[in-house]
């Protein structure tokens, strides 16, 4: 038997009762794909971060769900960086901004960590700027799967595909009442997503419960192993880009657009996600998403090591 130690965090929340959870496991360079999947299914979390190595302010890692390996994971990255800071692994005095190079199997990204006045570390991850396509989609079937009427869609905003680290179907709805009516048939939704090459169905409205937020979000991801995500960084980055594309938000004098979203309220896991877009002459030049993470616990697993090595 092999003993696996992990640290459990929740991202996009300053409370253990909110946010989206991810486990962090170290020294995993020799873990086989089957073994990573075995661990992910045992822990049954939205994401597991397998840290392969870290040198100075560079980290090599992989993210895994109960169904597949992720190319990138926003909430997992925030949990990972918070744990690395807690272990004092980085060369950082805890003031100013720390830049970290996150290396993943198919990409790399810059992560910036800033310590706030109340000593809470805010983690912002660079995200690939998504492209949009108006692919033909059966909106009537989708409404039926989601448990809403077609009249619950926003009357002036289109359903669109956002293609970035993930493929999101952006679904604008009329308001909070329509959001509360959504009750997906997840088995049917997973088939619908696979048929249309969709990884998340990102529903949102501009009516919010907290006036400090710009949008209210629900993100459904059964095709990749998460029925409804309490908080999703990559999804919110895509939604923020959609808002900019359709001129629902404007840049400040400094050329930045800061968008704060509320998510997870319908499933009892309130979350706060921050997106910052850097804009020049109407074009997004840099896209960041992030927030805070809170440690939940340290834990351990006892697993067979017959599929340990690659």
* 166: Cα separation from own chain's centroid: 10
Q: How many CA atoms lie within 13 A of 76 on its CB side?
A: 24
Q: Token pair of 5, please?
A: 């130690």
When the pLDDT of each residue in the chain is averaged and rounded to a whole number, the result is 94
Which residues make Cβ contacts (< 8 Å) with residue 159, sequence separation at least 6?
Answer: 137, 139, 142, 153, 169, 170, 171, 172
For residue range 168-199, list pLDDT tens digits in order. 999 999 999 999 999 999 999 999 999 999 99
Confidence of residue 294 (pLDDT cuts 50, 70, 90): very high
Q: How far is CA 303 from CA 42, 52, 78, 243, in A?
A: 9, 19, 27, 45
pLDDT at 273: 98
Is the confidence at residue 286, as pLDDT, over 80?
Answer: yes
Instruction: Categorize the per-residue pLDDT at 226 as very low, low, confident or very high, splitting at 50, 70 and 90.
Output: very high
Q: Closest by alpha carbon to 220, among 196, 234, 199, 191?
A: 199
Q: Give me the phi and psi of 205, to 5 degrees please.
A: -145, 160
Report the candidate in 217, 213, 249, 211 with the shortest Cα–Cα distance to residue 233: 217
Helix (H, G, I), strand (E, B) or coil at 121: strand
Q: What is the pLDDT of residue 1?
A: 76
Q: Is 59 left (phi over 0), alpha (psi -120 to 50) or beta?
A: beta
Q: Are strands 131-133 and 121-126 parallel, antiparallel or unpaired?
A: unpaired
| Banded model confidence at residue 92, pLDDT cuts 50, 70, 90 | confident
Output the CA torsion sign for 295, 121, 103, 100. negative
* pLDDT number for residue 307: 65
In this predicted structure, the answer to whether residue 308 has a pLDDT above a threshold of 70 is no
Judge contact between 146 and 184, C-beta under 8 A. Answer: yes
Encode pLDDT of 54-63 as tens digits: 999 999 999 9
pLDDT value of residue 302? 86
How does DSSP assign 200-258, residue by residue?
Answer: EEEEEES--SSTT-SEEEEEEEGGGTEEEES--HHHHHHHHHHHHHTTSS---TTSEEE
DSSP 173: B
Are residues 201 and 194 in contact, defined by beta-carbon separation less than 8 angstroms? no
Q: What is the pLDDT of residue 118?
A: 66
Query: Which are the contacts of 53, defined by CB distance < 8 A and separation ≥ 6?
Result: 29, 59, 60
Residue 281 has pLDDT above 90, yes or no: no
Over residues 15-67, the pLDDT tens digits come to: 999 999 999 999 999 999 999 999 999 999 999 999 999 999 999 999 999 99
Render pLDDT for 213-224 as a digit per residue (tens, 0 to 9).
999 999 999 999
Q: Are 112 and 288 in contact (CB under 8 A)?
A: yes
Specify burial of residue 137 (Cβ count, 10 A radius: 0-12, 13-18, 19+): middle
Query: What pLDDT score was predicted for residue 119?
Result: 61
Torsion sign (Cα): 77, 71, 163, 218: negative
- The pairing of strands 160-163 and 131-133 is antiparallel
* pLDDT (tens digit per residue) in 232-244: 999 999 999 999 9
Query: Going from the N-terminus, what domains does the chain have, and what CATH number goes with each?
Result: 2-126+293-303 (3.10.310.10), 131-291 (3.10.310.10)
């Amino acid at each position: 038997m092999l003993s696996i130690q992990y640290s459990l965090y929740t991202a996009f929340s300053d409370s253990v009762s909110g946010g989206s959870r991810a486990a962090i496991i170290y020294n995993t360079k020799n873990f086989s794909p089957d073994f990573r999947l075995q661990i992910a299914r045992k822990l049954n979390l939205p994401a597991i971060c397998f840290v392969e190595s870290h040198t100075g302010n560079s980290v090599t890692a992989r993210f895994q769900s109960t169904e597949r390996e992720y190319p990138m994971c926003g909430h997992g990255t925030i949990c990972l960086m918070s744990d690395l800071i807690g272990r004092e692994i980085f060369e950082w005095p805890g003031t100013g901004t720390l830049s970290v190079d996150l290396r993943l199997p198919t990409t790399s990204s810059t992560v910036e960590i800033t310590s706030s006045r109340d000593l809470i570390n805010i983690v912002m991850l660079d995200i690939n700027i998504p492209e949009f396509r108006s692919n033909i989609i059966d909106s009537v079937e989708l409404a039926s799967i989601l448990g809403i009427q077609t009249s619950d869609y926003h009357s002036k905003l289109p359903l669109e595909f956002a293609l970035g680290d993930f493929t999101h179907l952006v679904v604008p709805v009329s308001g909070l009442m329509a959001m509360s009516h959504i009750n997906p048939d997840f088995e049917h939704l997973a088939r619908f997503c696979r048929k249309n090459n969709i990884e998340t169905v990102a529903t949102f409205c501009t009516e919010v419960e907290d006036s400090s937020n710009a949008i209210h979000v629900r993100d459904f991801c059964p095709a990749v192993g998460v029925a409804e995500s309490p908080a999703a960084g990559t999804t919110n980055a895509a939604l923020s880009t959609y808002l900019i594309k359709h001129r629902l938000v404007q840049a400040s004098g400094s050329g930045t657009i800061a968008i704060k979203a509320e998510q997870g309220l319908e499933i009892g896991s309130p979350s706060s996600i921050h997106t910052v877009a850097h804009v020049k002459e109407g074009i997004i030049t840099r896209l960041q998403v992030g927030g805070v993470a809170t440690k939940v616990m340290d834990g351990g697993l006892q697993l067979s090591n017959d599929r340990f090595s690659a």
